[in-house]
Amino acid sequence: MKPKALLVFYCCFFCGVGVSKQCRADATQRGFGDVAVFRAQLEGDGFVVREGLLNKSDPLMLFCNGILASGNAFNFDSPYCFYLMPELPEQATPPNGHNTYPWSFHMRADEAIVFVGWTPPPVKYFGYQSYISSRFHPVYKLSARFFINVGDAMNNFTIKSGDSPNGAPRSTPYDAATMIISTPDSGIAARVHQAALNAGCSESIINTEVISSQIVRFGLQDTCDQLTFLNRLAFFVDDPDHQIETAYFALDRPLVNPDGSLIAPPYGPNHRGWVFRITPAVPLEPDALRPFPMPHLRVRGTGDTREFNLLPALEKLRNALIATYCDPSTMEYEDVPTYMWIPDGFDQYQRQEYFTLGPTRDTIYMRSQMFQLSEDSSDFVIVYGLNHAMTGKSTYSSVVLYSEDPVEGIPAVADMGELVGLASINSEQGEGRGMLGSIQPFAPFIMDAVPDPAVDPQKFYVCKVTRYKKSEPYTIIVPDPPCPRLKVTQLLVGFRAYVEPETRVSPEWSEIVYDRVIHFRPRTTVAVAGGTAIPGRFALSQNYPNPGNSRTTVEYTVPTRCNAVLDIFNISGQMISRHTAVAEPAHINRFVVDGSHFASGVYFYRLQAGDQVAVKRMHWLR
């Protein structure tokens, strides 16, 4: 469907034109039947049906308006849609709690949430999934971020879908009819399922998402979990000017009112379909509930380590990059470490780790260590690695630049800085903007290192990150902050690799060659006794050993002599250890942390040296 036609269709649907025609399907169609009949069937079965909304969110705008404490490491340039869910009337009565945000909701154990509508136009990836978004914190005595997935997502490789909005047969899962029933209770699911069939819905498009009562604390009270339903999309296909994407989101309502307040329910339908909150008029007694067992997860990993065959070429590429960008007389360089970033949600759940980010099992997350680029544009970063989509280990991958500056008024231990996405490239983009074609100047080095006809230069990529405003091919320019709250000083690069084709879930960590980063800068060293040259800059290293057992060492460098304070926090945000010293710029400074009294688990360490602050995570294993 062309962009203009797409927008016309969505506008007509949103205004109610032709709704009855779009909502009906005969026995030969794979549609979702008559929505009015579906709702009447549910109400006749003793349910109260309330209407919600599937709406786009802009995390940068929400951060700039002070609504979000951080950008939550959203995948920049990849839109996210959320359910906006109406509250139940009893939530207004203490001790029941209001939803924290329009996109979060408390849920009873006898409820279901249903989306009935259409999937997005063709994209490289989409996923639908519920998350625990916050949990009552035992120390802070309030709801804190506890953002974890509750299972596997329904993605464009696994979702059950049917016909197009006008009833035409679809051979792909895009712009196709679908129904998603999200509930913890098998009895409620069966009743909703039957109501859908009675309304003419095709069995072949009905998806059931289990929100497991084994891990979710259901209920309407403040001490119960809040949930979020998230629809992730990545890279609209054949849309270089973002016209299809713009049309798809044209009718989404803003989440913030002109006065700066969040929008509030009730919410109405939109052009993607309907969202229904389905609640028994008479709450079910506990012994009448039939909770689902914990759902199975798709198995990661194929055992295929094909990417490691390309390590010799990757090392040759590194040497070529250093030779190209580093004149030894004027420049120096440093390999910036990259490592696993966001662990699986079930791992975070079992550690009861608060202030977590929201993973999906459809991708793996890697990141670089934090770095800074000077304001005079004299230094830059080169990001390089394997295009995981071209090696066959994923269907889509991305490189995203984030800011990680501390947020004023927000404890760094809680949110680990802004984590606002600033710019991105992905595995599909070329022509000077993305990964494809970016390796051409270095192709001879790769082919020479791995003289194999199967080695394709497109399996590699190179990207430059700089503050220099001159337009260059395959370059991410660090943008100016769009609002005063956002500082763009401390930076990191995040990496994602979505959905391995064979498993329909993310690749396995051990089968992926990590993306890499090199920081190039003018030679800025200071002379010390013995003639040794040490970089004079602020940097905090990862502690070693990590995990620690009895002791661990934290190293750091500073540009000038200053007072340094190292604080250690536990996962609840309590400071459990403080170390102070006078830091010198002429050598590597060290703190030796005695952790003999630390319990096993995750900790954060925060270094303040003069007016510079950095935070990292450490693990302790007893």
Min mean pLDDT across 189-193, 416-420, 453-457 is at 453-457
Q: Between β-strands 206-210 and 177-183, what pairing exists: parallel, antiparallel or unpaired?
A: parallel
Question: What domains can you pick out in the chain, each with its CATH number?
Answer: 3-13+28-282 (no CATH), 306-523 (no CATH), 529-620 (2.60.40.1930)
User: For the chain, how are helix, strand and coil distributed in percent, rounded to 5?
Assistant: 20, 35, 45
Q: How far is CA 602 from the centre of its chain?
A: 21
The rounded distance, in Å, linking the Cα atoms of 137 and 353 is 10
pLDDT at 595: 87
Query: Hey, CA dihedral for 579, 581, 584, 585, is it positive or negative?
Result: positive
The rounded distance, in Å, linking the Cα atoms of 60 and 58 is 6
pLDDT tens digits for 103-160?
999 999 999 999 999 999 999 999 999 999 999 988 888 888 999 999 999 999 999 9
Q: How far is CA 177 from CA 31, 37, 413, in A?
A: 6, 17, 44
Q: Could you tell me if 355 and 569 are in contact, meaning their C-beta atoms sit under 8 angstroms apart?
A: no
Tell me the range of 165-179, 202-216, 398-412 where mean pLDDT is highest.
202-216
**What are the two backbone dihedrals, phi and then psi, of residue 486, each rounded to the nearest 5 degrees?**
-90, 120
pLDDT tens digits for 498-553?
999 999 999 999 999 999 999 998 875 443 333 333 456 788 888 888 878 788 88
Confidence of residue 270 (pLDDT cuts 50, 70, 90): confident
Amino acid (one-letter) located at 169: P
The rounded distance, in Å, linking the Cα atoms of 312 and 518 is 17
The rounded distance, in Å, linking the Cα atoms of 443 and 358 is 37
The rounded distance, in Å, linking the Cα atoms of 251 and 284 is 38
- With a CB cutoff of 8 Å and minimum separation 6, the contacts of 258 are none
pLDDT tens digits for 369-390?
888 898 888 899 999 999 999 9
- Which alpha helices (H) appear in 433-549, and where do they start and end? 443-449
pLDDT tens digits for 550-588?
888 898 888 889 999 999 988 777 889 999 999 988 778
Confidence of residue 277 (pLDDT cuts 50, 70, 90): very high
Rg of the chain in Å (alpha carbons):
26
Average pLDDT, the chain: 88
| Chain position carrying tokens 């951060």 | 63
Mean pLDDT for the stretch of residues 257-285: 88
3-state secondary structure of 492: strand
The rounded distance, in Å, linking the Cα atoms of 479 and 465 is 11
Mean pLDDT for the stretch of residues 304-330: 92
User: What are residue 615's DSSP bridge partners?
Assistant: 606
User: What are residue 333's DSSP bridge partners?
Assistant: 520
Q: Could you tell me if 334 and 251 are in contact, meaning their C-beta atoms sit under 8 angstroms apart?
A: no
Q: Over pLDDT 70: what percentage of the chain? A: 91
Exposure pattern of 48-79 as b/e (b: 16+ CB <10 Å)? Answer: ebbbbbbbbbbbbebbbbebbbbbbbbbbbbb
Is the pLDDT assigned to residue 426 strictly greater than 90? yes
- With a CB cutoff of 8 Å and minimum separation 6, the contacts of 436 are 387, 390, 427, 428, 429, 430, 458, 461
pLDDT at 22: 42
- With a CB cutoff of 8 Å and minimum separation 6, the contacts of 344 are 359, 361
Amino acid (one-letter) located at 10: Y
Amino acid (one-letter) located at 316: K
Nearest Cα to Cα of residue 127 among 81, 69, 188, 89 = 81
